[in-house]
Amino acid sequence: MLLGAGAPAWLRAVPILLALSALAQQQTEYRVSVTTNLVVVNVGVKDRHGRPLEGLKPTDFEVLEDGKAQKLSVFEYQRLEEAAEAAPAAPAAAAPAAPAAQGRISASSPGQVRYHDRRLLVLYFDFSAMEQPEQIRARDAALKFLEQQMTPADMVAVMAFTNRLRVIEDFTADREALTKTMQSFRIGEASELAAEAATGTEEEIEEGEDAGEDTGAAFTAADAEFNIFNTDRKLGALEDAVRMLASLPEKKALVYFSAGVGRTGVENQSQMRSTVNAAVRANVSFYPVDARGLMASAPAGDASRGGSRGSGIYSGQTQRSLRSRFMQQQETLYTLAADTGGKALLDENDLSVGIRQAQRDISSYYILGYYSTNPAQDGAWRRIRVRLLPQPQARLDYRSGYFAPKEFRQFDAADRERQLEDALALGDPVTDLPLALEVNYFRASRDSYFIPLAVKIPGSAIKLAEVGRKDETDIEFVAQVRDPKGRLMASVRDSIKVRLRGDKAERLATRNLSYDTGFTLPAGEYSLKLVCRENETGKLGTFETRFAVPNLAGSNPYLPLSSVVWSHQREKLAAAVGRVRADRKTMLAHPLIQEGQKLIPSVTRVFRPDQSLYVYAEAYDTGRQPATPTPVPSVLASLQFFRENVKAFETEPARVSKASGTRTPIELSVPLASLQPGRYTVQLSVVDEIGRKFAFVRAPIVILEARPAAPPAE
Model pLDDT for residues 284-293, shown as the tens digit of each residue: 999 999 888 8
Is residue 596's pLDDT more than 80?
Answer: no
Q: Which of 495, 518, 551 is the last residue of a domain?
A: 551
Comparing C-alpha atoms, which of 67, 65, 56, 78 is closest to residue 11? 65
**pLDDT: is 23 or 318 the higher one?**
318
Q: Are residues 520 and 568 both part of a single domain?
A: no
Do the domain assignments include residue 110? Answer: no
435 and 541 Cβ atoms separated by less than 8 Å:
yes
Q: Could you give phi then psi for residue 405, rounded to 5 degrees?
A: -75, 170
> Residue range 687-701: average pLDDT?
90
Range of the domain at 23: 6-32
Do the domain assignments include residue 91? Answer: no
Element holding 132 (H helix, E strand)? helix 132-144
462 and 537 Cβ atoms separated by less than 8 Å:
no
Q: Which of 536, 551, 566 is the last residue of a domain?
A: 551
Q: Are residues 399 and 429 both part of a single domain?
A: no
| Cα-based distances in Å from 558 to 207, 229, 317, 369, 516 | 15, 30, 22, 64, 30
Q: Which of 54-63, 289-298, 533-542, 587-596 has the highest mean pLDDT?
A: 54-63
Do the domain assignments include residue 28? Answer: yes
CA dihedral 41, 46, 51, 54 (to 10 degrees): -60
**pLDDT: is 312 or 512 the higher one?**
512
663 and 618 Cβ atoms separated by less than 8 Å:
yes
Do the domain assignments include residue 95? Answer: no
Do the domain assignments include residue 109? Answer: no
pTM for the model stands at: 0.56
Do the domain assignments include residue 68? Answer: yes
CATH number of the domain within which 395 lies: 2.60.40
Is residue 395's pLDDT more than 90?
Answer: no
> Residue range 190-199: average pLDDT?
50
What's residue 313's pLDDT? 67
Do the domain assignments include residue 448? Answer: yes
Q: Are residues 71 and 137 both part of a single domain?
A: no
Q: Are residues 191 and 56 both part of a single domain?
A: no
Q: Are residues 288 and 368 both part of a single domain?
A: no
CATH number of the domain within which 229 lies: 3.40.50.410
194 and 129 Cβ atoms separated by less than 8 Å:
yes
What distance in Å separates the CA atoms of residue 255 and residue 336, rounded to the nearest whole number? 11
Concatenating the DSSP letter of every residue in 622-678 gives TT--TT-SS----EEEEEEEEETTEEEEEPPPEEE---BTTEEEEEEEEESTTSPSE
Is residue 168's pLDDT more than 70?
Answer: yes
CATH number of the domain within which 631 lies: 2.70.50.30
**pLDDT: is 81 or 659 the higher one?**
659
Q: Are residues 446 and 436 both part of a single domain?
A: yes
What distance in Å separates the CA atoms of residue 686 and residue 609, rounded to the nearest whole number? 25
What's residue 638's pLDDT? 94
Q: Is 621 left (phi over 0), alpha (psi -120 to 50) or beta?
A: left
Q: Are residues 54 and 132 both part of a single domain?
A: no
What distance in Å separates the CA atoms of residue 44 and residue 360, rounded to the nearest whole number? 13
Q: Are residues 259 and 383 both part of a single domain?
A: no
What three-state secondary structure class fits 243? helix
Classify residue 77 by its DSSP letter: E
What's residue 124's pLDDT? 94
Q: Are residues 174 and 316 both part of a single domain?
A: yes
> Residue range 157-182: average pLDDT?
89
Model pLDDT for residues 608-639, shown as the tens digit of each residue: 899 999 999 999 988 765 555 556 788 999 99
What's residue 612's pLDDT? 92
What distance in Å separates the CA atoms of residue 527 and residue 681, rounded to the nearest whole number? 27
Do the domain assignments include residue 89? Answer: no
Q: Are residues 567 and 610 both part of a single domain?
A: yes
Q: Are residues 263 and 295 both part of a single domain?
A: yes
What distance in Å separates the CA atoms of residue 712 and residue 26, rounded to the nearest whole number? 67
Q: Are residues 221 and 253 both part of a single domain?
A: yes
